[in-house]
Structure 1
C-alpha cells in the first residue's frame, strides 16, 4: 500500500485539470481526477479509505463543489479530510458560503501550481501532527508507550494480545479488519491462534471494557473494527 497522500481533484477544465493533476503527481501525491460531480462521487464511493484531501472546483456539471463538499462532510469515512475550493468565482458571499459548508481553504483562479501545492501541504500538516503517544476516544485512553488501556482513568487489566487488538482497531478507526488480518498481527504473542480464537480475544476485550466495549463492532461477514457511530464522539 502506498504511503503517498491521495487527493480528490474535481476540475472540469481539461487543460487546467490535467496540468494540476500531473504537477501534484510529480510532487509525490496520488490524484483521483474527476471532471464532474458524478465522477467525484464515484471516486468517493470506490476509494474513500484512501482519500486524504479534496480540491473542488465550484462550477462543474452534475454536482457542484458545494454539493460535493456537503457530501464529504456527512460521509462516515472522509468527513474530516481537508477540503479546498479552487474556483474562478470572486464573490465574497461564495467564499463565505463555502467556508460555512465546511471547506478549509479557498483558492481563487488563476493560481500558480506552487501556490496550490503550498495550500495542500499546509492543510495536510495541520491534520497530521506529530504522532502522539496516546489515543483517546471518549472515556477510553490507550497509552502506546506502555501498552496500557485506561477507562475513566482506571487501568484496564488486558492481556498483551487483547491490548494489541485494541490498539490495532483504535489506531485505524476507519478500517475493518478480517480475522485473518488480526491473526497475523497477534501471531507473535499467541503461537497457537486459530480463526475463532480471535472471537474469544475480542469478546474478552469487550467484557473488560464494560460499557465502552460498544466502541468495537462486529461487521458481519467481514470482521472487526471501530464502531463508526462513535467516530464523532
Structure 2
C-alpha cells in the first residue's frame, strides 16, 4: 500500500484551491488546505511533522507566501521539505525572489493540474526519507540525536538531566508522569535521588524555556507532563 504524502496548499482563491485539492486527493495525496497565511502558520507551528511538501501562493491575506516559505525554512522539522510557489507573479525577478527565499520550484499561473502533479512527484522522488530526530510541542523542539533544544528557532542550553526530562515529556505529550517515573528515567543505580529533586529540575527547565515553559504543567497529586490543553 502506497504511503500518502501530505501537501500543504496555501491558496486564497477558494474555488481554484478546492479544485486543485480535489485533483491531488484523487491522485493519492493528502491535502492540508489553508486559505490564508494565518491558517498556513497554524499547520507549520502545530503540525510540522505532517507536511511532506508545500504549494504556496504568494499574494494571500494575513501572512504572504514568501514569509510562510521563510518560516518553514527556519523550522527545524520543515527546513528540508520541498516548497513550490504557484503564483500569478510571473516576472523573472519574482521567480528569482521566490527561489532565493528558499523555494525549490516556481510555477506561474495558469498551470495545468498535470504539470503541478508532475513537479510535485519530481520533488518528492528527490526527497530522502524523513528520519528526523526532532520531537516537538508547539514552539518547543528537541533533537534527541544531536542533544539540542530550540524554542522559536533559538537554541536553549539544558543540563543533561533537564534534557532527559523534557525528552520524556515530549515522547508522550498526553501522558502525566509521576515523580517516581521521572526519577527512574533520570537516575541510575549508583545515585540516590530525592523526590523533590524532580521539582527543582522541572522548575529550572521551565525557567530556561522562558514563556514556552508554561507548556509543562503540574498535575497536582500526580506529577508533571505537557499541558494537554495547549496541544495543537
Paired residue secondary structure (2:40):
helix
Correspondence 1:174 to 2:122: no
What stretches of structure 1 move > 4 A for 4+ residues in a row?
212-217
- Offset of residue 175 of structure 1: 4.2
C-alpha contact (below 8 Å) 2:77/2:132 kept by paired residues: no
- Structure 2: segments with no counterpart, 5+ residues: 137-143, 149-159, 173-232
Alignment of 1:1-233 (within 5 A): 3-128=3-128, 171-175=131-135, 214=147, 218=164, 219-223=167-171
Distance 1:222 1:125 in 2: 31
Under a length normalisation based on structure 1, what TM-score does the superposition of the two structures give?
Answer: 0.59
Paired residue secondary structure (1:33):
strand
Distance 2:124 2:146 in 1: 32
- Structure 1: segments with no counterpart, 5+ residues: 132-169, 177-205, 207-211, 225-233
Equivalent residues, number? 149
Distance 2:81 2:3 in 1: 16
Distance 1:92 1:103 in 2: 14
Q: Which residue of 1 aligns with 2:195?
A: none
Under a length normalisation based on structure 2, what TM-score does the superposition of the two structures give?
Answer: 0.59
Paired residue secondary structure (1:106):
strand
C-alpha contact (below 8 Å) 1:49/1:174 kept by paired residues: no
Distance 1:82 1:174 in 2: 18
Instruction: Calculate the aligned-residue CA RMSD, in Å.
Output: 2.6
- Offset of residue 44 of structure 1: 1.5
Distance 1:109 1:14 in 2: 15
Distance 1:82 1:31 in 2: 15
